[in-house]
Amino acid sequence: MSDLRVKGSFGGWARDRVIELNDGSVWRQPEDHYEWRFSHKPLVEIENGQMTVKGMKRAVKVERIK
């Protein structure tokens, strides 16, 4: 299991949200899904173009931009 995390704070999901991870990769959320929850450096899993952030209700589609 990797220790992939959001770099810094995470405020939840919103269309076009950009998320930087601790491995230097940057991802964008292209889909319309809104869910708010503040957390600091939450754990992340990415599989089949979907990102799961610990504490959120569901995974969302993401695209790698860096």
Confirm if 61 and 50 have CB atoms less than 8 A apart.
Answer: yes
Residues 6+ apart with CB under 8 A from 1: none
- Give how far Cα 32 sits from Cα of 2, 3, 16, 28, Å: 28, 27, 8, 12
The SS3 call for residue 34 is: coil
Q: Which CATH class is domain 9-64?
A: mainly beta
Task: Note the pLDDT tens digit of each residue in 4-58.
Answer: 999 999 999 999 999 999 999 999 999 999 999 999 999 999 999 999 999 999 9
Whole-structure pTM value: 0.91
